[in-house]
Amino acid sequence: MIDHRKLGRELDLFVSDPLAGAGLPIWLPAGAAARHAVEEYVSELERRSGHQHVYSPPLGKRELFELSGHLGYFADDMFPPMRLSADDEFVLRPALCPHHALVFRARGRSYRELPLRIAELGGMYRAERSGVLGGLSRVRAISLNDAHTFCAPDQVGAEVAEILGLIRAAHAALGVRPAGVRLSLRGPGDKYVGDDAQWARAEELLRGALAGVAYVEAPGEAAFYGPKIDIQIVDAAGRESTISTIQLDFDKPERFDLSYTDSDGSRRRPVMVHRSLVGSMERLFAYLIEVHQGAFPAWYAPVQLVLLPVDDGQAEAAAELARRAVGDGLRVEVAAAGSLGARIRDATRRRVPYLGVLGSREAADGHLALRLRDSRTLPPIPAATALALITRQVAARAADLLPAD
C-alpha cells in the first residue's frame, strides 16, 4: 500500500524525530521546496481574487480565546495556557479566526470595503492524542491556508460561490481528486453557540450555494459556531478527511462586536465566512505524496531538472546550463558522480521530472538530450529550446511533462 510516511522518508521530504516530539514533523529541503511552490501558487490565486494577506502571532492572551468561544467549546483540543505571571496567561491558538477578527476591528469599516477578504498561511496548534498522530496527516503544529471574509448578509451567496470556484481551480492545479462534498450541520447537544434562527439562516445560505452540486448532509459535523461545506478526500488507506472547507459564522462578529457603517449611516453586523482552499500544508502534502506516488507535477517538484554530463569534459557546459536554468526560475541540480546509468536511476527514483543528458556532441552543438521520469526520451534539441519547453510546462502548471501538441 502507498504510504506518504514511507515515501516521505525515501524522497527526503520530511522527518519526524522523537527529540522534536510526536506530531511535529520537520520539512527537509526537498519537501520545503515543493511546499514553497504550492504556497506561492495559493497566495497568488488569493491575491488575484481580492484577498489581502496578513501575518498574526501563533498565540494570544487567554482572554482572546475566552472571547472567541474556543476555551469554552474547544478547550479539549487546545494546549494548556502558559502562565507568565498571575494575570498574564498565553495560549497557543487552535484557529486563526480570533486574530482575523482583530484585523477587521483594527479601524472603522465601511460597507464600501465589503466583502473584506483577509488571508494568511498561519500556524495553529492542536493537542492531538499521541495515538492518532501519523506522518503529516495528523499533527500538532498545523500550517493552515486560511482566510476570513467579512461581508454583508446579502453578499454571502456570491462569496461562497466564488470560493467554490477557487477551490476547484486549486484542486485542478495540484492534482487533488475530491471524493465528495459534505454539508456539515449542527447535531444534538450543547456544544454549539448561537440561536436556532442563526443556524437555520446559515444552513439555508449554504444549501443555496450548493444548488446543482451533489452533496451529502452530515449532522453533528458542523463547527461549534456554524455549518460548513466540506470537500472530502480519501487517502490510500481508504480514510476520509476534509481538505477544503467553507464555514458561515454569525457568532464571532457578535462576540467581537464587529460592525461596519452601511450606506444609510447605520451600524451593521457583518457575516464572517471562514474558508480554506487547500487545508493545512501538512494534510495536503500527506495526500499529494500518496495520490502522485511522490511524482509531483513539474511545477512543484522539489527538483525539476537534473543535468547529467556524460563525463568530466561536459562539466563546465553543464554548470553553465544550470546557471541559465536557475535564472529562468527552475530548480536544477547537476549530478556528475558515478556512472551515467546509476545517475539516471537515482534521478528517476527521486521522481525528478526532467533529466538532461549532456555528452560531448551535445556540449559541442549546444544541445541537450531530454529524458523524462516516465522513461520517454526526446532527441537532442538546442539547450535553449529544452529549457523553454520545461519553463512553459512549469509556468502552465501542466499535468503532463510535454506539451499536448
Q: Residue 13: inside a domain, yes or no?
A: yes
Q: Taking each helix axis as running N to C, give the angle between helix 156-174 and helix 196-209, from 0 to 180 degrees, rounded to the nearest 10.
A: 50
348 and 219 in one domain?
Answer: no
Q: Residue 404: inside a domain, yes or no?
A: no
282 and 329 in one domain?
Answer: no
The torsion angles phi and psi of 32, rounded to 5 degrees, stand at -65, -35
* Full pLDDT tens readout for the chain, 405 residues: 899 999 999 999 999 999 999 999 999 999 999 999 999 999 999 999 999 999 999 999 999 999 999 998 889 999 999 998 888 999 999 999 999 999 999 999 999 999 999 999 999 999 988 777 889 999 999 999 999 999 999 999 999 999 999 999 999 999 999 999 999 998 887 778 877 888 888 888 899 888 888 999 999 888 888 899 999 999 888 889 999 999 999 999 999 999 999 999 999 999 999 999 999 999 999 999 999 999 999 999 999 999 999 999 999 999 999 999 999 999 999 999 999 999 999 999 999 999 999 999 999 999 999 999 999 999 999 999 999 999 999 999 999 999 987
Q: Which of 252, 270, 292 is the last residue of a domain?
A: 292
Q: Residue 63: inside a domain, yes or no?
A: yes
* DSSP β-ladder status, 216-219 and 59-61: unpaired
331 and 252 in one domain?
Answer: no
236 and 169 in one domain?
Answer: yes
204 and 313 in one domain?
Answer: no
Q: Residue 202: inside a domain, yes or no?
A: yes
The pLDDT score that the predictor gives to residue 176 is: 96
Q: Residue 405: inside a domain, yes or no?
A: no
The pLDDT score that the predictor gives to residue 142 is: 97
The pLDDT score that the predictor gives to residue 225 is: 84
Which range of residues forms the domain containing residue 305? 298-396
Q: What is the pTM for the complete model shown?
A: 0.94
| CB 299, CB 292: distance < 8 Å | no
The pLDDT score that the predictor gives to residue 188 is: 84
The pLDDT score that the predictor gives to residue 205 is: 87
152 and 109 in one domain?
Answer: yes
Euclidean distance between CA atoms 15 and 365, whole angstroms: 43
316 and 275 in one domain?
Answer: no
Q: Residue 247: inside a domain, yes or no?
A: yes
- β-bridge partners, 230: 182, 245
Measured torsion, CA atoms of residues 185, 190, 191, 196, in degrees rounded to the nearest 10 = 40
Euclidean distance between CA atoms 87 and 380, whole angstroms: 71
Read off the CATH number of the domain in which 167 is found. Answer: 3.30.930.10
Q: How far apart are the first and last CA of the chain?
A: 35
275 and 302 in one domain?
Answer: no
Read off the CATH number of the domain in which 329 is found. Answer: 3.40.50.800
Euclidean distance between CA atoms 328 and 384, whole angstroms: 11
168 and 90 in one domain?
Answer: yes
Nearest in space to 227 (alpha carbons), one of 250, 256, 255:
250
279 and 302 in one domain?
Answer: no
Whether the bond between 115 and the residue before it is cis, its omega within 30 degrees of 0, is yes
Euclidean distance between CA atoms 278 and 147, whole angstroms: 11
Q: Which of 238, 269, 292 is the last residue of a domain?
A: 292
What is the tally of structural domains in the chain?
A: 2
155 and 49 in one domain?
Answer: yes
66 and 104 in one domain?
Answer: yes
The pLDDT score that the predictor gives to residue 193 is: 81
Residues 6+ apart with CB under 8 A from 108: 260, 261
Q: Residue 187: inside a domain, yes or no?
A: yes
Decide: helix, strand or coil at residue 266: coil
Q: Residue 403: inside a domain, yes or no?
A: no
- Give me the long-range contacts of 341-346 (CB less than 8 A, separation at least 24): 343/306, 343/308, 344/308, 344/371
Euclidean distance between CA atoms 193 and 180, whole angstroms: 27
The pLDDT score that the predictor gives to residue 194 is: 77
Decide: helix, strand or coil at residue 383: helix
Q: Which of 276, 292, 308 is the last residue of a domain?
A: 292
